[in-house]
A = this chain, B = another copy of it.
Amino acid sequence: MAKSKYEYVKNFETEKKLLPNCWIVVRIDGRAFHQFSTKHKFKKPNDENALALMNRAASVVMDEFKDILLSYGQSDEYSFVIRKDTTLYNRRGPKIMTYINSLFSTSYVYYWSHYFKETRLKYPPAFDARIILYPTDENLRDYLSWRQADCHINNLYNTTFWALVLKGGLTNTEAEKRLCGTLSSDKNEILFSEFNTNYNNEPIMYRKGTILIRKRIKNPEHGKMRQVILPLHEDMIQDNFWQKHSEILAIKS
């Protein structure tokens, strides 16, 4: 049973390294989460526990992979931004991508019951992952702006849609039809005039998603500094965020 006779098959494996000096983004995304959220009775338009669980899973990933500088999550997706000078797994893309995705996935199941005390997890969910390179800080910021703008657009739509359905008594199809072709301003108006809702007063986590960054904070008891993973719900599209947290992009490449 000579193993060596067969070992030539290892040569069929490819091992492409990621281009150096580029920001690395791994984005994970829930598979068929529309159905998953229905089966597990997620609250509409946003389920606070479901989002908290996503954030928890992302925190586990950040705890494990110190080269992740920032993570951003909304809905059933999470993006992990890895330092451009990382040497993690020798910059082998598939290795980085699959470990992050797997750990996020297992953490989601592992911590399910902490966030859903009443609802049993009916089946194991799955997430896919992709890995993307961004050469410049501007490209990276635009990526994050893209995801945060996506969060806003979807959340405004969903908030209005579910107001029409849950409070307005429309069927799903009627609500869809009503919103077809509407602008943001139209949706804001519907919410305000028909449901007495000022969209800007909706919970900021729903409107902006969740940013996880590392910060060194002082322990209030003994005064020692330690690093924590801090959840933020700020606007990353404006410069202000990046000035306030200037250490994120401060890496010398």
Contacting residues, chain B, for A250 (C-beta < 8 A): none
Q: A5-B142, A19-B22 are in contact. List 9 more A-B contacts (CB 8 A).
A: A1-B237, A9-B143, A12-B134, A16-B16, A64-B126, A94-B94, A94-B130, A95-B128, A136-B136
Contact flag A130-B13 (CB < 8 Å), given A31-B99, A135-B19, A253-B136: yes
A129 with B94: CB separation less than 8 A: yes
Query: Which single residue of chain B is at the shortest CB-CB distance from A146?
Result: B6
Query: Which single residue of chain B is at the shortest CB-CB distance from A84?
Result: B135
A98 interface contact, C-beta 8 A: yes
Give the interface of A toward B (CB within 8 A). Answer: 1-3, 5-14, 16-17, 19-22, 28, 31, 60, 64, 94-95, 97-99, 101-103, 105-111, 121, 123-136, 138-139, 142-143, 145-146, 149-150, 152-153, 184, 237, 253
B121 with A102: CB separation less than 8 A: no
Q: Per a CB cutoff under 8 Å, which of B9, B20, B125 touches A12?
A: B20
Which among A3, A28, A111 has the highest number of chain B CB atoms within 10 Å? A3
Q: With the chains together, A231 CA to B126 CA distance in Å?
A: 24
**In the complex, the 9 A-B pairs of residues with the closest C-beta atoms, listed nearest first:** A6-B146, A135-B135, A106-B124, A3-B149, A103-B126, A110-B124, A109-B109, A98-B129, A102-B105
A13 with B132: CB separation less than 8 A: yes
Q: Min CB distance, A9 to chain B, in Å?
A: 4
Q: With the chains together, A30 CA to B97 CA distance in Å?
A: 14
Q: Pull 6 A–B residue pairs with CB atoms less than 8 Å apart, ordered by A.
A: A6-B146, A14-B17, A102-B102, A102-B127, A109-B110, A135-B135
Contacting residues, chain B, for A110 (C-beta < 8 A): 109, 121, 123-124
Q: Min CB distance, A237 to chain B, in Å?
A: 7
Contacting residues, chain B, for A105 (C-beta < 8 A): 102-103, 105-106
Q: With the chains together, A153 CA to B98 CA distance in Å?
A: 28
Query: Which single residue of chain B is at the shortest CB-CB distance from A125?
Result: B106
Query: Which single residue of chain B is at the shortest CB-CB distance from A22?
Result: B135
